[in-house]
Structures are given as C-alpha cells and as structure tokens.
Amino acid sequence: VKQTDLEKQGWFRTCHSVAYKTLGIQKGEVLGGGKEDDKWVSEAVGSDVAYCLSEDDDGGYGVFTGDKVAAAALNYWSLARNLVVPLRTVVEADQSFDAPSAAEVIQRVEMYEQAKRLDGRIDFTDMLCRFVGVKNHPDVGPDFIAPEGQVPNTVVGWIFDEAQDSSKLLDMACRRLLTGDAVRWAWAVGDPFQVLFSWSGASSEHFMSWDVGENQKVMPKSHRCAAPILALGERCLKSLPDYWDRGIAPADHDGEVVESENYEDDLADLSPDEDTLVIARTNRNVGRIAAILDEIGTPYRRIKGKSGAYNRGLGMGGMWKLQHGEPVSREEWTQILHMLPVQTTDGRRWLVRGSKTKWEREWSANCEVVFPDEIGSLGATDELKAALASGAWSGLPDGGTKWMAAAKRWGVDAVSEPKIRLGTIHSAKGMEASKVIVLSSVGYKVRAGEELEDWRFNEERRIEYVAVTRAKHKLVVAHDPREKYRMELPI
C-alpha cells in the first residue's frame, strides 16, 4: 500500500456504513438508539426499555435496559443474529437464575420484528444481515438467502482494522466485500488477545481463520511498550488456553512498572501538562476517580462523555483571553454566550436580552474575531465588561472558579487541553500514553462471573493485557485498600 494512494483514494468507514450505503437505506429507517427510537421500541415490545451504555461492572457497552424480560429479549436477539445461531440457543446458554424463558423471549422478539415490518424500520444488525444474506426467524433460527446490495466495484483494496473484534456476522460482511470486481488485495489487522467484546459475539477465531497462506505477518517489535511493561502484558495472557508467544520485541526506550497501595495519592500527583491515561475496569470506578480529580481541581478529559466541571474548554479560555486584553475567535465567543447567564438571581444583567439569538442568526456570520472593545456591541453589558476585565467572570459560569484556579496553577493551555485522559479500559482500547495509571479494583459481578464461566475468566485476562499495554514509559498499578476485589495482575 502506498501512502499516496491512501491520501488520494482512501476512505475510512465502518462495515455498517458500507452496508447502509450499498443497501440504499433512507434516513429515518434505522433505529439509532435516541429517545424517539427508545419510545418506538418500548411500544413495539410492550414495556419500557432504553438503549444505553451499561453503567455497571461490565465496562461500558451498548445494551438495552429497563423491563427485565423485554430488555433481555432484545439483547439476546442482537447476540443471536451476530453469532448467526438460533435465538433459543443463546437464551438456553444463559445460566443466570433470573433469566427469562425462551418462550417469553421469543414472544417479545416476534412483537419487535412485526412492528419493524409494519413501520418499515430496521436496526444496525439488520443492515449486516441483509448485506450478507441472512434472514432471521425468532422461533427457528437463521436462513441463508441471496444477499442484498452491490459490493463497491471500484475499491482495489480493503484494510479491516481491529479484525479480532469481528462477530461471525461482521466477518461474513468483511468477506463479502472481497468479492468486488476490482479487489486485488486485503489486509485483516488485529491482535487476537485484544478481544474485549465477547458479549456481542466477537471472537478472534474468525480473524485467525482467514486463508492467508504464507502471508501471515506478526509485528516483530513494539514501538510503544518498554520491556517490563510488555513482559507484564504477556504474563497476563499466559493462563489463556490459546496463548502463544508471538516473539514481539519491546520498544527501545526505558520503562518501569510500579505498584501502589493508595490510588488517591497517585491521582494527587498528576499534572495536566503530562501525557497520562487513567483507566479503570468499571464506569463506577471511573466516576470515583473523576470526583477526586474534580475535588482537588486537576483538569482532565473524559475519553467518552463530559469532562470535569472546571474544564469547559473554549469558553473559559476565551474569557481568560478577554480578561488579558486578547481577542477571541468566533467559536470562543459563541461558547462564552452559551455559558453565561443573561441575568443572575441577584438582579444583575450580564447580557442584553436577545443578544444570544442575534449572534446566532445575524452577527456571527460576519465576525471571525471578537476584540475586547467590541463585546459591548455584541450584547455584553457594562457589568459583564467590568467582570471580564477584573477576572470576576469566574463566578458566573458553572465551574469557573475551579477553572481559574487551575489556569493560574498550570497555565491556560494545560487547563484548556489537559493531557490527562480518563475512562474505562474498554474505552481506552487503541490509545496510549507515556504514563498510565490502572486502578486495579473490580466489582463482585466481575469476580463472580469469571469464577463461574471460562469465557469470562479469559476475557478478564485480555482486559488486563489491554490495560497494561497502553503504557509507553511508566505503568502504575494502583490499588484501593478499601476494595475487596482486585485484578489479578502477575506483577
């Protein structure tokens, strides 16, 4: 592959988006998981459900929640279609004591499918099924039929990244793309030990079963992980039944692994101008870390979702600039207007009534830069101008006081674009940082699950491997002495 070819002709899409385009699906047909779609699905299955990120001990992935039977039925149905197996097979494999019966599940899924037919709606899994030629029946299982849509006939090569996360259905879609008339080559790229989404049918066996002959290549050297970090990652995997030593050499730079017994001390030592990734196994623990960083006033960015209250980016930085006599961009002034109240409860008015609307509809189009002496003509009252000039503006927007204190301590750039990133291990997959802090705490559900089922045990080892190998130079495995359950990292 030549870089120039990718620059001129390359494009990046998900397999789902390729199916969407080739099938000619219209806007509004696909159930995307918003509030209106949740309402539609709830009416279809006869119970309140919502599609959202799991907030429990499972790392933050998309699931249906709400009524137990209806939500379970929709989740079973998604898994069955991704595995390309009968729905009853998935239901009967669930050994949970409160799992609904197959009859209950099939009834809800049939209601869902009938509603989709009547209203002309589909979900994301349906797109791949139609593209590869799988017709699903809730009661008897899948049939294989003629695939729909035309494979892009001008693409000469495909690169399937993160191929280890393919379900059987997604793998079938990738393989169908190779049937295009112009295809001359393809790369399936992935790490078989980074499968973190078994719950959705992902398995490295699909990726590893491609017939590549002698064209299989193993990355000879890590350009990220120093020797002690890479070695710990490999030790995390050695208990897996399919482990094999790929002989990957470590990066040339030095590195270290440190174990700490008090994660709060490690958080207190962080600086927003240092490249740092702070990750935890569960969303609950990510929330605890965020609360600590907010409390001590250390700026950070969430990998997914909203960042700390004091870290409001463009708007805060814009007001700081105006305070110091510097102009702001159109985008910065727009954010300032969004953040500021027109009037506070004490009766003081900060913006002229209607100025936010006029800015959006009239003024912003002809105003690329806003100078401090122009803000009065754009809606700022004399009180706001005085507050901006004196620095008293920090008491107006939510989190302004903390932002101001952080900016004085670390500088505006470090606070506006902090280099500390925070999230779950799942959300950090694919990322790296010079320093990584891994909170070792896991919940009871995680520990109980891996003790009961082999696939959960194996997945936890892969999750630990991913967590460890995000680090380039320094890995800190931080413990909470109050927590009962920890990751079993072989340090």
Residue 52 banded pLDDT, cuts 50, 70, 90: confident
Three-state DSSP at 26 gives coil
Highest mean pLDDT among 151-165, 189-203, 428-442: 428-442
pLDDT beyond 70 at 458: yes
pLDDT in tens, 173-184: 999 999 999 999
Three-state DSSP at 469 gives coil
Mean pLDDT value of segment 186-192? 94
Residue 75 banded pLDDT, cuts 50, 70, 90: very high
Mean pLDDT value of segment 337-356? 93
For a pLDDT cut of 90, what percent of the chain falls above it?
78
Listed in sequence order, the residues at least 6 apart from 91 whose beta carbon sits closer than 8 Å to its beta carbon are 76, 99, 100, 101, 102, 105
Mean pLDDT value of segment 435-440? 98
Count of H helices and E strands in the chain? 20, 14
pLDDT in tens, 81-110: 999 999 999 999 987 788 999 999 999 999
Please report the pLDDT score of residue 106 as a whole number. Answer: 97
Mean pLDDT value of segment 259-275? 96
Cβ-contact 139, 106 below 8 angstroms: yes
Mean pLDDT value of segment 146-162? 92
Mean pLDDT value of segment 125-129? 96
Please report the pLDDT score of residue 2 as a whole number. Answer: 66
Q: How far is 104 from 109, CA to CA, in rounded Å? A: 9
**Higher-confidence position of 176 and 306:** 176
Cβ-contact 476, 467 below 8 angstroms: no
Three-state DSSP at 385 gives helix
Distances (CA, A) of 394 to 72, 341, 403, 410: 47, 12, 8, 16
Please report the pLDDT score of residue 32 as a whole number. Answer: 83
pLDDT beyond 70 at 263: yes
Encoding tokens for residue 109? 């899924």
Mean pLDDT value of segment 398-409? 89
From the number of C-beta atoms within 10 Å of its C-beta (0-12, 13-18, 19+), residue 384 rates as buried
**H or E element that contains 478:** strand 471-478
**Higher-confidence position of 13 and 388:** 388
Encoding tokens for residue 44? 């279809």
Q: How far is 162 from 176, CA to CA, in rounded Å? A: 17
pTM, rounded to two decimals: 0.85
- Identify which of 291, 300, 279 has the alpha carbon closest to the alpha carbon of residue 475: 279
* β-bridge mates for residue 160, sequence order: 188
Task: Tokens 């320094």: give the residue.
Answer: 474
Evaluated on CA atoms 195, 196, 199, 200, the torsion sign reads negative
Three-state DSSP at 281 gives coil
Q: How far is 381 from 377, CA to CA, in rounded Å? A: 9
Q: DSSP readout, 149-185?
A: SPPPSS--EEEETTGGG--HHHHHHHHHHTTSTT--E
Encoding tokens for residue 438? 């891994």
* β-bridge mates for residue 435, sequence order: 276, 474
Calculate the CA 40 to chain-centre distance. 25
Task: Tokens 């990726």: give the residue.
Answer: 207
**H or E element that contains 278:** strand 276-280
Residue 420 banded pLDDT, cuts 50, 70, 90: very high
pLDDT beyond 70 at 6: no
Cβ-contact 279, 467 below 8 angstroms: yes
Mean pLDDT value of segment 434-458? 92
